[in-house]
């Protein structure tokens, strides 16, 4: 009887870490969906957060200038639950940071993500070859664009 009990306890001891790892793996697959037509503007301070709230996608101010004519922003993904909000990704054009003036907006369309200036001029676009049906901010810190078959066509 005691040998069976010891074997059962040993098996349980091995199962607990397995269940914990599985829980963290499933949590990392969680996502917060962003529908086609959704947008974020520098004016509304909106963000697209991951389900856990650890990561956010949106605009980050590049300077502390309060004059809207000279204030600049970048489109980025950052750790959102720490005080310094460390950036893990930012939009770039020609290997340079894509900067946007106040009044700019990011929009998700069937053609992907677009960053437009306050006058509607194109600043940056995601490069996708398939039709996008949904965006999703993941708990891994990535923002992905998906087709209607849930296939990833872009990952940021």
Residue 19 in domain: no
Instruction: Domain count for the chain, please give it.
Output: 1
Residue 9 in domain: no
Residue 4 in domain: no
We report the CATH number of the domain holding residue 140 as 2.90.10.10
Residue 38 in domain: yes
The pLDDT of residue 22 is 37
CA angle 48–124–45, rounded 5-degree value: 30
Residue 99 in domain: yes
Residue 92 in domain: yes
The pLDDT of residue 111 is 96
What is the Cα–Cα distance from 84 to 77, expressed in whole angstroms? 13
pLDDT band, very low/low/confident/very high, at 62 (cuts 50, 70, 90): very high
- The pTM of this model reads 0.77
85-114 tens-digit pLDDT: 999 999 999 889 999 999 999 999 999 999
* Cβ neighbours for 52, distance < 8 A, ≥ 6 positions apart: 27, 30, 139
The pLDDT of residue 57 is 97
Residue 24 in domain: no
Domain that holds residue 134: 31-155
């Amino acid at each position: 009887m005691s040998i069976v009990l010891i074997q059962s306890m040993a098996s349980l001891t091995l199962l607990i870490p397995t269940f914990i790892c599985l829980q963290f793996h499933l949590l990392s697959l969680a996502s917060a969906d962003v529908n086609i037509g959704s947008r974020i503007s520098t004016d509304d301070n909106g963000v697209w957060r991951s389900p856990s709230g650890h990561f956010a996608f949106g605009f980050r101010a590049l300077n502390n200038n309060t004059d809207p004519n000279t204030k600049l922003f970048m489109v980025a993904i950052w750790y959102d639950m720490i005080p310094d909000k460390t950036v893990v990704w930012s939009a770039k054009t020609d290997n340079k940071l894509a900067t946007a003036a106040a009044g700019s907006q990011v929009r998700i369309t069937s053609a992907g993500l677009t960053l437009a200036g306050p006058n509607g001029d194109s600043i940056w676009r995601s490069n996708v070859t398939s039709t996008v049906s949904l965006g999703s901010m993941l708990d891994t810190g990535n923002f992905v664009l998906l087709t209607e078959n849930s296939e990833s066509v872009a990952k940021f």
